[in-house]
Structure formats: C-alpha cells, structure tokens
Amino acid sequence: MMLLPNHQRILEQLGEDIKLARLRRKLNTEQVAERAGISRSTLWQIEKGMPSVAIGSYLQVLFVFGLEKNFLNIANDDILGRKLQDAEILVRKRAPKIKK
C-alpha cells in the first residue's frame, strides 16, 4: 500500500506512541501480542506504523493498554465538517413547491 509521506509519518508516530505505551507498562511484545490476540510480527508492524495492518488490530492493542477510548477521538473534532454543515454546503435543498 502506497501512502503519501505525511500520512506515513502519522502512522509511524502512532506506532511509536503505541510502543512507548507498551514500554511504560513494562510489557514485552509477547505479552501484548497474546493479550491482543495477534502475532508478535503484527505487533511489530503496528509499532512501525505499517499501513497494511488491519485497523482492528490497532484497536486490540490499544484495548490491552486501556486506551481504546482514545480511538473515539479520531474524527471527533471535525471543525471543517461542522463549518460546512453549519453553512449548509453539504445539504442541497430543493426549492419550495408552488402551492396552487
């Protein structure tokens, strides 16, 4: 899978943050992989920010650390979307029907 460089850096940062969360908890890769129900190689790929790993695997690892609720913040603060919604740009309205 080919990603734009900025997107790849974002995934790499997420992987690094996940690795730091594991190290802060003094858990080894085998413990986390077993608790998350994934292989150690999948955990390694997650910690490297590989785009080919299923999003559910990322969520399972966050669950092991008690951070799964952070997942809900991904698109929570959609400032542009809310501005567009408020401006009614996304919703096309029909002209009112003419009453006879």
pLDDT in tens, 48-75: 999 999 999 999 999 999 999 988 888 7
In a domain, 38, yes or no: yes
Half-sphere exposure of 34 (CA within 13 A, CB side): 5
| 38 or 74: which leads in pLDDT | 38
Q: Checking phi first, is residue 78 left (phi over 0); if not, alpha (psi -120 to 50) or beta?
A: beta
pLDDT value, residue 98: 77
Hey, what's the torsion of the CAs at 97, 84, 11, 28, to 10 degrees?
Answer: -90
Domain containing residue 19: CATH number: 1.10.260.40
Q: Which domain holds residue 19?
A: 5-86
In a domain, 100, yes or no: no
- Alpha-helical segments (H) within 25-78: 29-36, 40-48, 55-64
Average pLDDT, whole number, for the chain?
A: 90
Number of domains in the chain: 1
In a domain, 47, yes or no: yes
**Percentage of residues of the chain with pLDDT beyond 70:** 91
